[in-house]
Structure 1
Amino acid sequence: MRNRPAGTGRAGYALLSLALMLTILGALTAALAQEAPMVTQPPLVGATRCADVQTLKALAELEEGAFVETLGFYAPGDGGGARYRVEQPTEELQPNDADVLALPNGLVAVLQEREAVNYRMFGAIGDGVNDDGVQMKLAHTYANAHRVPVVNLTGEFWIRETNGIPIRTSVKWGQTRFHIDEEFNSQSVPRFSVQNDEPTVNIELTDEFKAALLQRIRPGVQIIPELAQYAGHLISVSDDNDRIGLRAGYEGNRGWAREELFYVEQEGRIIGDIAFAFDDITAASAIPCNDVYTIIEGGAFYVSGESPATGSTGYHYNGFSIGRSRTIIREQWVGLEKGARDVSLAARSGFYSLRNVFDVTLENIRLMPWEKNRREPEIAVPHGTYGIGGSRMLNCTFRNVTAESGPIAWGVFGTNINKNFRIERCRLNRVDVHFHCWNLYIEDSEIGFAGISVTGGGDLFLDNTTRFGNSFIAFRRDYGSRWDGRVRLRGCTLRPNGTGTVSVLAYNPADFDYQYPIGFGESVTIEDLVVDFSAVPDSVAPCWLL
């Protein structure tokens, strides 16, 4: 008789089979837990339990103060299970079929989640027909009011007509996929609005206070004691009567008010070099910067590529408007629906649009430049159209962002008043600041056919960066090809893609009064530059340093 290990008779095999089944069930449970949008909470002692929201809404015997738990929103296990407390309705607590549910006895069941919420708790369906943006907006409104994050790690949701989804708390989207119908893009309201907690403060300019600011605000200043009371604020000062940076080629353009943007720390210490002195100040504002970082991570966004129903070719929002300082957005993918093409005739202001912010980071993101230069004039987009836009940005960093395309697409970046601008380990088809870049640092990056186009001053430092095109940096002609500061290229490569003239630094101002002094840099340092003609080996065009 063949020897076999002890315990492997019928009883032993039964035990082994049971152990194997438990192991498989344990692994399956662990896998499902990883995919679950919310961590399952232990049952609430004393609470009434019911299958779903419809069952809850039919309970007529519930008394005020009772707690109820549901196993799902539409059906048990659909991810929308939640806890509710029965209360009297008030002016603020009116039924909305989401976080406030009407009961037959005139009371309401009010959502009681204080750790995190997800979209299915508010009735999002994800069937491709429902406008899930409605329920998403309710979820974020609730999260903002109760200062809890939105944690929705899986699922697909369709955002159709809904705009203005407010975000003031951190968000984890994980593997969630969002489909955005661009037919309903708006010129005034973004799809997602990342909002500040506190409103902007208009600073009262008494004669004495204005006189002090006029004396203090000038190049080289590092402390402004009179602004110490605004520690933790982003400060903007401007003189609307002193117009500078008039744009050549745009008849009637009034340029920009002379303006400075900086952040105030303790004792009036400022962050952000002062570039301008002022003869007068007509407005000053203090924008509160949040004390905690808001982190928005994960998710994929599929846009339809259609023209908006507004019929306008002007600028439209199709993604995020970021007006909250100390925000980090990371691990996201942005692109077209499968099989779709960008056929929009309207310009986009940026899937990510940053305005009046300090210390914002975008990292580990794939997005796309939008089509503009279509061959047929009747379908060309009449304005620049952007993947990342913004103005009045200080200490903003873009890290491991990829946005590349061919010659039909417009440049992914389009910004103004962008100070202490950092690009790290990116692959972008263009880096651009129209008016007043101050301190730009690009390292370990690749910049595509649309190039680097800037005006401004401060440090312009590029390290270990490759540019695909016939000029490494083009200083914008429409704003005077101006750079008031140091220019340094170190360990960089220029790869011409055409047989025309090649230039490392391209200055070409127009015969035009820009209403400010223009110059080509306080100093220029170039170290270990390689000009690689391998893409156009037959080129005999000259290569200019300047």
Structure 2
Amino acid sequence: MIKHTLLTFLFLISAIVTQGQNKEPLEKVVITSEKGKTQVSAHENGELQVNVAPKDVVKFKAAGLVRYSEFGAKGDGKTDDIDAIAATHAFANLHSLLVKADEGATYYIGGKERTAVIRTETDFGTASFIIDDTEVQNRNASVFMVGSDLKSFKPEMLPSLKRNQKKIDVSLPGPCLITVTNANVKQYIRFGLNQNNGSSQTDIFVVDKNGNVDMNAPIIWDFDQITDITALPIDQTPLKITGGRFTTIANKAESKYTYYNRNIAIRRSNVLLEGLQHHIKGEEDHGAPYGGFINIGECAYVTVKNTILTGHRTYSTIGAADKPVSMGTYDLSVNRALNISFVNCSQTNDINDNTYWGILGSNFCKNLLYDHCTLSRFDAHQGVANATIRNSTLGHMGINAIGSGVLLVENSTIRGRSIVNLRPDYGSTWQGEVVIRNCVFVPADGKPINASLISGSYSGQHDFGYTCYMPERITIENLRIDDSRHPENYQGPAIFSNFNSEMTNDSYREKFPYVKTKEVILRNITTVSGKALRISDNPFMFRDVKVTAGQ
């Protein structure tokens, strides 16, 4: 019988940069189909050599699916199965096959630098995955990366852009996610213990093949100049990933900002992730923070549904201001992404236990949604355009956001220190409106504090790289404030916290003026304490706000 090579295929995928992810190839796999048995071997240079017997190629294609065990995975919870897992996905990607984990298997994944790239439907089913982070070769190497066959490219450079521009002058092969940058302008110049010099002005939006901008996620900045532009075609076919029980054995590294990204990174648009569980064990009194076990970036139209997550323990380090600071550490992370939904998601630990950090961090996003979620925090660091929280319960870290558009909170219970905290480190800015409807607010989970509905801080002395706004209009309807436990000198809940305790008369000068709220509309606000809602501990600052109360 003549030996013949049916196929040699080389995958080379460049990593996407997000929160310290590197630019080295994520996957380097050579697939052959030669006489002999199906086997997987790793070369010293990191290349994965996969030979699939010709008869197995026929069998797998006829079945329409492959399993990890068919590529040598033991599933015994002890043998490192990452090479077999990566090989299975590489073959499935080549032939557009479904990947199924073996029912009841436990796959151990050690610290080897190997990323399994998912491009086809995957069913983790009832299988368990143990991800051991105690000895990791590359903390920035994702365990799984959900990728696309479509490649990003550089369209013709645009001279400039305007906020809310409806069309850009480019011709594209189809709908694309466009990212633009002006490296000569710095924004989000952070203030406080984690101070920094800001990020280059950036925006991300969807256009059709004719350059028409999806105005549900509009351009939010004026760009006088564009120094970089990237177009990423949007997959039109949905990709579904289901099941799986993942357990991270936590790292024991020094407590400093060396983020671990041993995660499932989603870098493809139009993805549904459903039924996954993530647990954490082995956390001690120190450790490096995590950049999100589910890490979504550079994509659009992603839904995480019916998923159970776990908050990480909070560790502290010395921040940029040479003072101790608690490090953000996340199980969910969303960066440079549009139309991302979390539906019916919860976490294993108490959402009101402040020894665990808030579960979500996000930057440069548009249209984020929590629906039927019970989670410790919603957070938008470097801006979100439009966010909705509905039918949900938020724990001790509550809702933290800066950004623009509409921030809608409805049919939800908020147990943070305020309903919405406008992040002071980024200027407590929201250029748009806030709507709070049919909600219950339990200040600080019932601890005795002076409650305020909208909190933040703004001195007017720091340049954040943009004009800072308070919400132009705030509408609050059908709100019950459970302030039954409160301090002895409690005056009643305030609409606004004291944003600037030094601004008590006309003599105070803001170097960078704050654009204050114009109108607050109140309808059917009740307090358990019986004390009336008032404007603020600093009535001077909010003296020009029009408050309209009605039933």
Residues 251/313 of structure 1: CA separation in 2 closer, same or farther (3 Å cut): closer
Distance in structure 2 (CA, Å) of the matches to 1:381 and 1:184: 26
Tell whether 2:490 aligns with 1:540: yes
Tell whether 2:401 aligns with 1:454: yes
Distance in structure 2 (CA, Å) of the matches to 1:539 and 1:110: 76
> Equivalent residue for 2:466?
516
Runs (5+) with no aligned partner, structure 1 = 1-61, 68-84, 103-107
**8 A Cα contact 1:227 1:264, kept in partner:** no
**8 A Cα contact 1:243 1:258, kept in partner:** yes
Point out the structure with max Rg over C-alpha.
Answer: 1
The letter for the 1-side match of 2:383 is H
Distance in structure 2 (CA, Å) of the matches to 1:365 and 1:534: 34
Tell whether 2:95 aligns with 1:146: yes
Tell whether 2:272 aligns with 1:328: yes
**8 A Cα contact 2:297 2:336, kept in partner:** yes
Aligned ranges for residues 4-403 of structure 1 at < 5 Å? 64=3, 87=34, 96=41, 100=51, 111-112=57-58, 113-114=60-61, 115-154=64-103, 155-162=105-112, 163-185=114-136, 186-205=138-157, 210-211=158-159, 214=160, 217-224=161-168, 226-229=169-172, 231-249=174-192, 253-271=196-214, 272-308=217-253, 314-337=258-281, 340-341=282-283, 345-373=287-315, 383-403=327-347
Aligned-residue offset at 1:259: 1.6
Distance in structure 2 (CA, Å) of the matches to 1:343 and 1:328: 35
Bigger strand fraction:
2
Tell whether 2:383 aligns with 1:431: no
Distance in structure 2 (CA, Å) of the matches to 1:94 and 1:472: 56
Identity among equivalent pairs (%): 27
**8 A Cα contact 2:392 2:412, kept in partner:** yes
Q: Deviations over 1:336-359 (max 9, x none)?
A: 35xx44555111000011111111
Q: How many residues align?
A: 446
Tell whether 2:420 aligns with 1:473: yes
The letter for the 2-side match of 1:183 is T
Q: TM-score, normalised by structure 1?
A: 0.76
**8 A Cα contact 1:306 1:343, kept in partner:** no
The letter for the 1-side match of 2:247 is Y
Aligned-residue offset at 1:145: 1.4
**8 A Cα contact 1:440 1:459, kept in partner:** yes
CA root-mean-square deviation = 3.0
Aligned-residue offset at 1:242: 1.0
Aligned-residue offset at 1:501: 1.6
Distance in structure 2 (CA, Å) of the matches to 1:86 and 1:435: 48
Secondary structure (helix, strand or coil) at the match of 1:227 reads coil
The letter for the 2-side match of 1:414 is G
Aligned-residue offset at 1:524: 0.9
Distance in structure 2 (CA, Å) of the matches to 1:374 and 1:515: 28
Aligned-residue offset at 1:544: 0.7
**8 A Cα contact 1:347 1:385, kept in partner:** yes
Tell whether 2:366 aligns with 1:419: yes
Q: Deviations over 1:120-171 (max 9, x none)?
A: 0011112232101121111111111111110125121111134311111110
Distance in structure 1 (CA, Å) of the matches to 2:95 and 2:489: 64
Residues 329/344 of structure 1: CA separation in 2 closer, same or farther (3 Å cut): farther
> Equivalent residue for 1:408?
355
Secondary structure (helix, strand or coil) at the match of 2:468 reads coil
Distance in structure 1 (CA, Å) of the matches to 2:292 and 2:201: 25
Aligned-residue offset at 1:471: 0.6
Distance in structure 1 (CA, Å) of the matches to 2:419 and 2:181: 33
Aligned-residue offset at 1:438: 0.5
Residues 240/444 of structure 1: CA separation in 2 closer, same or farther (3 Å cut): same
Distance in structure 2 (CA, Å) of the matches to 1:252 and 1:401: 32
Q: Deviations over 1:371-425 (max 9, x none)?
A: 01589x9xx9952111111310111111111125311011111110010111111
Distance in structure 2 (CA, Å) of the matches to 1:125 and 1:169: 22
Distance in structure 1 (CA, Å) of the matches to 2:134 and 2:418: 38
The letter for the 2-side match of 1:366 is I
Distance in structure 2 (CA, Å) of the matches to 1:319 and 1:409: 19
Secondary structure (helix, strand or coil) at the match of 2:117 reads strand
**8 A Cα contact 2:40 2:72, kept in partner:** no
Residues 66/233 of structure 1: CA separation in 2 closer, same or farther (3 Å cut): closer
Distance in structure 1 (CA, Å) of the matches to 2:288 and 2:33: 48
Distance in structure 2 (CA, Å) of the matches to 1:184 and 1:418: 33
Distance in structure 2 (CA, Å) of the matches to 1:367 and 1:127: 24
Secondary structure (helix, strand or coil) at the match of 2:269 reads coil
Distance in structure 1 (CA, Å) of the matches to 2:76 and 2:462: 57
> Equivalent residue for 2:510?
none
Runs (5+) with no aligned partner, structure 2 = 7-31, 43-48, 497-551
Aligned-residue offset at 1:251: 7.6
Distance in structure 1 (CA, Å) of the matches to 2:278 and 2:196: 34
Aligned-residue offset at 1:434: 0.5
Bigger helix fraction:
1
Secondary structure (helix, strand or coil) at the match of 1:346 reads coil
Q: TM-score, normalised by structure 2?
A: 0.75
Distance in structure 1 (CA, Å) of the matches to 2:472 and 2:275: 39
Residues 137/95 of structure 1: CA separation in 2 closer, same or farther (3 Å cut): closer
- Residue 441 of structure 1: which of 368, 388, 401 is its match? 388
More divergent stretch after superposition (475-484 vs 355-364)? 355-364
Secondary structure (helix, strand or coil) at the match of 2:380 reads strand
Distance in structure 1 (CA, Å) of the matches to 2:429 and 2:5: 69
Distance in structure 1 (CA, Å) of the matches to 2:40 and 2:100: 24
Secondary structure (helix, strand or coil) at the match of 1:491 reads strand
The letter for the 2-side match of 1:130 is T
